[in-house]
Amino acid sequence: MNLNFWLPILMLSSSLFTGMIIFFLKEESTVLRTSLNLAGAAFKVIAVHYMAYRLLVLDNIHQVSFSMGLGFDFVLKVDFLSLMFLALSSNLWLVTTLYAVGYLEGSPNRSRFFGFFSLCVTACTGIAMAGNLITFFIFYEFLTLVTYPLVVHRETRAALDAGRTYLWYTILGGTLLFLGVVWLQVIAGPLNFADTGALETLGHEHHFSLCVIFLILIMGLGVKAALVPLHGWLPVAMVAPAPVSALLHAVAVVKAGAFGIVRVVFDVFGRDFSGHLGLLGPLAVAASITIIFGSLRALSQTDLKKRLAYSTVSQVSYITLGAAIIASFSTVGAIVHLVHQGIMKITLFFCAGNFAETLGLHSIRDLKGVARRMPLTAAMFTAAALGMIGIPPLAGFITKWYLGIGALDGGSTWILAILVVSSLLNSAYFLPIVFSMWFEEPGRQWETLRPSRFEAPWMLIVPPMFTVLAAILSGLFADWNWSPLGMARQIAFGMGVYP
């Protein structure tokens, strides 16, 4: 059997067929549904680690390719960047599945939820392995379709309104992305992500067209990446259940947009050619505006999940900012933040879900003294929040350190001011929550909504324990070759942009 061909197919199938089967299960088939969910997620984790061994140690190239007609090719190919995104999505799918099983226990429509949940991860897997823009677009739009039912899962008026807003934004983004893909195909013909530099030969003849195409592609991707002013859907979508919020912010929608921007800059246009066209400066400005805007908006939010949502608007744009700086260290910072932001933000949403499900706490003002009742959840929230601020030696510090060094190396010293102001704003909207949880007197008596032997059901405690540990170890052992930072260095080296 040709594993170089079949492994990418198996990676897609593990969640695709799991989801299709779950749709037909009865609501009372709890054990079977949970077993299928966890088996599919565990298989994907094993498969991605075996694929990593074959790529990194045996130097095998995993690729699937066939023509779809009209000059478009469907291409799946696993490179180092694909592998990092695959590892992130598969591992976080496993822990989020466990969390979702515990979170939704006893709730209606679980088979529908977990069916679309699995299809969502299938879309992310396809986005990670896409070998060209048209394949990326197919899975990118598939992601829109399968996440909509998750956003509206509760079927309340607020959920349906949020779903409508989500669709308007993402369909607009998909339309722009498709326009850019087709226009680029007409000018340059079929281009795989491995063909970096192919557009340089067209630079003189199609300079203006390439600039417009780049802008269109970034706008299309910027909707899911929540670049200002295309971010409006994200805070509204917080009406979704906590597992959905965690998935949207850590690995699925916003990360797909940021991942796509990295692909466009480095694997379609090429970083140096993008800089030659004068495109990276405006991109860095757009990312910087988003970083500051998101942080300022987070300050005014009284609902915990909405504050975390605007934090995501800000934090995800570090990836775009790093990609827009012509410096090797900033490239590493952008790539590693794909992982760092994911593990820190998913921890925060898990903890927010624990507060809501266990004690019914949604507002920040209601978190006063909650560490006395839920010390482990409060500790995990605190560690992830400090990481987002950039406190060493947590994962977020590594990202900001590399972006700062890259800014100096690339002569973009003004970006240092953005990083400093952003970190101060991060502190301003996270530290009051931390202080209130640990040091203020409880504002009211808590009613335990879901009694358990622990401070919350174990399925709600174990997942954030895993992710916060990953955030801590990613910072403490950042110099290890197989840490997220070590992998980011290898990816940047493979791109030819890291010494």
Q: Give 150-206 pLDDT, tens digit per residue.
A: 898 888 898 899 889 999 999 999 999 999 999 998 888 778 887 666 787 776 678
pLDDT value of residue 203: 62
Average pLDDT estimate for 434-458: 82
CA nearest neighbour of 319 among 296, 351, 348, 345: 345
Q: Give 26-47 pLDDT, tens digit per residue.
A: 888 888 988 888 888 888 999 8
Whether the per-residue pLDDT at 253 is higher than 70: the answer is: yes
- Rounded to 5°, angle at Cα 401 from 393 and 389: 60
Whether the per-residue pLDDT at 408 is higher than 70: the answer is: yes
CB 215 within 8 A of CB 265: no
pLDDT value of residue 471: 94
Confidence of residue 498 (pLDDT cuts 50, 70, 90): low
Three-class DSSP category at 301: coil
Average pLDDT estimate for 272-289: 91
Whether the per-residue pLDDT at 1 is higher than 60: the answer is: no
Residue 291 CB neighbour total at 10 angstroms: 26
Whether the per-residue pLDDT at 481 is higher than 80: the answer is: yes
Residue 192 DSSP label: B
- Tell me how far CA of residue 61 lies from CA of 129, 390, 482, 484, in angstroms: 12, 36, 20, 21
Confidence of residue 499 (pLDDT cuts 50, 70, 90): low
Give the whole-number percent of the chain exceeding pLDDT 70. 98
Q: Give 62-93 pLDDT, tens digit per residue.
A: 888 888 777 788 889 988 889 889 999 889 98
Average pLDDT estimate for 399-413: 90
Whether the per-residue pLDDT at 285 is higher than 90: the answer is: yes
pLDDT value of residue 241: 83
Q: How far apart are CA 144 and CA 233, in angstroms?
A: 12
| Joined tokens for residue 265 | 């800059």
Confidence of residue 104 (pLDDT cuts 50, 70, 90): confident
pLDDT value of residue 411: 84
- Tell me how far CA of residue 429 lies from CA of 185, 296, 305, 363, in angstroms: 45, 9, 12, 14
Average pLDDT estimate for 305-319: 92
Q: 2-16, 387-401, 440-454 — which is least confidently predicted?
A: 440-454
Q: Give 347-366 pLDDT, tens digit per residue.
A: 999 999 999 888 888 899 99
